[in-house]
Amino acid sequence: MATTSLKNGKPAGFYLRKTGFYLLVALILVVALGPFIWLIINSLKLDSDVRKRPPDLLPDPLTFSNYVDVFTGRSFGINIWNSFIAASLTTIGCIVIGTLAGYALGRIKFAGRGVLLAIVLMVSMFPGIAVIGPLYLMFSNLKLVNQLPSLLLPYVTFNLPLTIWLLAAFFRDLPHELEEAAEVDGAHPFTAFYRVMLPLAVPGVVTAAILIFINAWNDFLFARTFTTRDTTFTAPVAVSQFTGLSDTNEPWAQISAGAVILTIPLVLLVLIFQRRIISGLTNGAVKG
């Protein structure tokens, strides 16, 4: 025979393919998780040990002082709160507007719907750096620099197109019969949307909400431009402002600790809602 069978009757090629698959998965995990694991290791080292060459693979001695130092003498707690408020309000605004717009574009047939969806997608690809100058001048004239609205406007503007696109695809693939049955029973179109279609779209809404929150939480460009005071910085900007004893002595251990603090909430968020995220991303991509 061309293939060699093992004791259980399965060909040797089966085990080679299985081994290759697991090796590929292991490689992907190392590439994906390696930088974050190294970030955690550096956050548990003394700052002098972070600079050692070659570096130690494990912290020796192990210290948690960096996680205390990032909050000592800094407004890092306020910065985290600023990021949370900005990301939360952005998520709420995009979901409220995007759900209604996505439902209209996904369920209502009208001339130019495809063109409108294409325009929405194009807006999401527009580079934010291109509007920094005009926005800064506008916010400066309106006295909104270092104010929350200066972050919410660009955050909602650049996250809303993705929200509409994702939810329109999700609503489009929901069964029309349920909506029609509700209208036959006398339900108002908005009632049919709110009580019948919206609960079915929860996976898509949750997926969109998490993506929006992550994008707003991680933003650096707009936050660095429109906030100039320590107490108005968002957390990513605050981490970039960590300074050492001199310009050439960056506190990399504290920077690593700050980055870990910012990353862990997002990791937990994705782990908690991973099933809904997968469902939301796949359901809207099956048809159409």
- Whether the bond between 54 and the residue before it is cis, its omega within 30 degrees of 0, is yes
Q: According to the model, what pLDDT value does residue 1 have? A: 44
pLDDT at 189: 72
Res 246: pLDDT: 52
CATH superfamily label, 74-283? MetI-like (1.10.3720.10)
Q: Which of 205, 75, 216 is nearest to 148 (CA)?
A: 216
Give the Cβ contact number of residue 58 at 10 Å. Answer: 8
Helix 252-272 × helix 202-218 angle, to 10°: 170
104-141 b/e (C-beta count within 10 Å ≥ 16 → b): bbbbeeeeeeeebbeebeeeeeeeeeeebeebbeebee
State how far the Cα of 170 lies from the Cα of 199, in Å rounded to an integer: 12
The pLDDT value given to residue 6: 53
Contacts of 83 (CB under 8 A, 6+ apart): 216, 217, 234, 235, 236, 262
- Cβ-contact 70, 76 below 8 angstroms: yes
pLDDT confidence of residue 115: 85
Give the N- to C-terminal CA distance of the chain in Å, as an integer: 46
Q: From the first residue on, what is the mean pLDDT of each consecutive set of 10 residues in the chain (288 residues)?
A: 53 76 89 88 88 84 90 91 96 94 84 82 83 92 92 93 88 78 74 80 88 93 93 93 68 91 89 72 50
Q: What is the pLDDT of residue 212?
A: 93
**CA-based nearest residue to 219, from 118, 84, 106, 120:** 84
Report the alpha-carbon distance of residue 112 to residue 109 in Å, rounded: 9
CATH 1.10.3720.10 placement within the chain: 74-283
